[in-house]
Amino acid sequence: MHATVVEVTTHILDIPTIRPHKLSVAVMEHQSMVLVRLKTSDGIEGIGEATTIGGLNYGAESPESIKVNIDTYITPLLLGQPAYNPGALMGRIAKAVKSNHFAKSAVETALYDALGKRLSVPVSSLLGGAVHKEVGVAWTLASGDTHKDIAEAQEMLGTRRHNIFKLKVGLKSFKEDLRHIAAIKKAVGDDVSVRIDVNQGWSECQAMAALRPLADAGVDLVEQPIHEKNLAGLGRLCGQGILPIMADEALQGREDGFALASAHCANVFAIKIEQAGGLRGAQDLMGIAQAADIALYGGTMLEGPVSTIAAAHLFATVGRLEWGTELFGPLLMKDNILAEPLDYTDFTLKLPQGPGLGIALDEDKVRHYARV
């Protein structure tokens, strides 16, 4: 148990997406991920990952800033330190580095992966233990074309890959969005759950006007319809009691979770390990939600397979994840960087059973997609 951190390296990988992914804040045709590789003195390597959505369109961190800040500020805090205590190391980083939640999440994931490998246990065991062997996974429809989205949904249903769909809206006009949503819900039928994510694309007045038509169309959930800072507006939307309102961009860590819960500003929390600052931060957010009787949803930053499976390890420890997850990020990418791809079957993502994250990189693919 005396191993120390001897090396931390970062690489930005750019992987094309299977189609343009259209959100109110960006149109993505590739995903850039920062791959963190942390080596210890006993020969173990832990891996972690951070991604953003559309560079700086979504938040304050970009792939480039994540890499620079890990290389320049975080790595010196890790080198030579005992590798067996992620909590102590992340506390050391927290004192010296403000914010940078995505960068911290990638580093923490690598530390837990290495520790799990050293102890021959999965990361989920280090987080309390898995109570599920798999998690349900929604698919996001975001081509921007109603007919293409319907065909995509029907293909997913036919292959038993997804039976829950989230629609990205807010890029078109308000009335066009409503027609788009209603058409897709009608096409997939009553037994299929349809949720919408506005990514802050509506005004409060628009969101208020939309709730009843959305409910009438059969929509189950509305995610972050208005600006993340308008907590009072989120509270007013929740107070209508028409549809559950889910907070996403408004959840940047524990303090945000407490503010939202104490002011009754959300019915559901979208838990994202990157936005929460890592696995333990996300675990704390879930505790706040559970104490406040706020339902849980496993969110994604459209991560690649490393961060996706890290999140799955965490979500598998939760007895009741009322709204499932959307850990579909690797499926949005044209290629896979793992030696064995993640197992998406029967509407779920299966949890690997090996030590640490339970995954291994395809080194040729990593080299191919890494920026020079």
> How many angstroms separate the CA atoms of 212 and 220, rounded?
12
Q: Find out whether 217 and 192 touch, Cβ atoms under 8 Å.
A: no
Q: Say if residues 264 and 235 touch (Cβ distance below 8 Å).
A: yes
> For residues 372 and 57, what is the distance between their CA atoms, to the nearest angstrom?
24
Based on the residue annotation, tell me whether 168 is a catalytic residue of this protein: yes
- Kind and range of the H or E element at 18? strand 5-22
Contacts of 4 (CB under 8 A, 6+ apart): 40, 41, 80, 81, 82, 83
Residue whose structure tokens are 């500020």: 73
304 vs 80: CA distance, rounded Å: 29
| Contacts (Cβ under 8 Å, ≥6 apart) of 22 | 28, 142, 143, 144, 168, 171
Task: Quote the tokens at residue 96.
Answer: 């010296």
- Could you write out the DSSP letters of every residue in 124-173? HHHTT--S-SEEEB-EEE-SS-HHHHHHHHHHHHHTTS-SEEEEE-SSS-
The three-state secondary structure class of 338 is strand
Distance separating alpha carbons of residues 334 and 256, to the nearest angstrom: 35
Q: In this structure, are residues 170 and 201 in contact, taking their beta carbons and an 8 Å threshold?
A: yes
Contact partners, residue 300, CB within 8 Å, separation at least 6: 272, 308, 311, 325, 326, 327, 328, 329
Q: What are phi and psi of 370, to 5 degrees?
A: -70, 140
Exactly one of 168, 175, 185, 334 is catalytic; name it. 168
Helix, strand, coil shares of the chain, percent, nearest 5, are 40, 25, 40
- Give the 3-state secondary structure of residue 181: helix
DSSP for 247-303 reads ESTT--SHHHHHHHHHTT--SEEEE-TTTTTSHHHHHHHHHHHHHTT-EEEE--SS-
Which residues are annotated as catalytic?
Answer: 168
